Copies of this chain bind each other. A is one copy, B any other.
Amino acid sequence: MTRRAFVHRISAAAPDDVSGIEAAIADGHIDPKGVIAVLAKTEGNGLVNDFARGHATLALSLMFRRHLPADEAARICLVMSGGTEGGMAPHWVVFERRAADDADGKGPALAIGRAHTPPLPFEHLGRLAEVDQVTEGVTVAMRDAGISDPDDVHFVQVKCPLLIAQRVADADRRGAVVATRDTLKSMGLSRAASALGAAVALGETAREKIAESDIGANWSLWSRRASASSGIELLNHEIVVMGMSPAWSGPLAIDHAVMADAIDIEPVRAALGRLGLAASGQLTDTQRRRLVALLGKAEASHDGLLRGRRHTMLDDSDIASTRHARAFVCGALAGLVGHAEIYVSGGAEHQGPDGGGPVALIVDRA
Binding site for B on A (CB under 8 A): 11, 13-16, 43-45, 47-52, 54-55, 58-59, 62, 84-91, 164-166, 168-169, 181-185, 262-263, 265-266, 269, 280-282, 300, 302-304, 306-307, 309-320, 323-325, 327-336, 338-341
Contact = CB atoms under 8 A, between A and B. Distances in A.
Interface centre among A184, A303, A328 (most CB of B within 10 A): A328
A338 B307 contact: yes
B87 A328 contact: yes
Contacts of A324: 85-87, 327
A140 to B, nearest CB: 29
Contacts of A319: 85, 319, 323
Contacts of A330: 328, 331
Contacts of A280: 280-281
A43 B312 contact: yes
A335 B336 contact: yes
Nearest to A323: B319
Counting every copy of the chain, the complex holds 4
Q: Which 6 A-B pairs have the closest CB atoms?
A: A331-B331, A86-B328, A165-B304, A47-B317, A280-B280, A332-B335
Contact of A263 (B48, B49, B166, B338): B338
A358 to B, nearest CB: 17
A328 B87 CA distance: 7
A319 B14 CA distance: 18
14 contacts: A13-B310, A48-B315, A52-B55, A84-B311, A87-B300, A87-B306, A165-B304, A165-B315, A263-B282, A263-B334, A309-B341, A319-B319, A327-B327, A328-B331
A170 to B, nearest CB: 11
A65 to B, nearest CB: 11
A245 B280 CA distance: 33
A336 B332 CA distance: 8
Contact of A185 (B45, B182, B315): B182
A265 B49 contact: no
Nearest to A331: B331
Contact of A318 (B51, B306, B318): B318
A55 B53 CA distance: 10
Given A58-B58, A330-B331, A339-B307, A263 B317 contact: no
A332 B328 CA distance: 8
Contacts of A334: 262-263, 328, 331-332
Contacts of A84: 311-312
Contact of A51 (B47, B55, B269, B314): B55
Interface centre among A84, A320, A323 (most CB of B within 10 A): A323
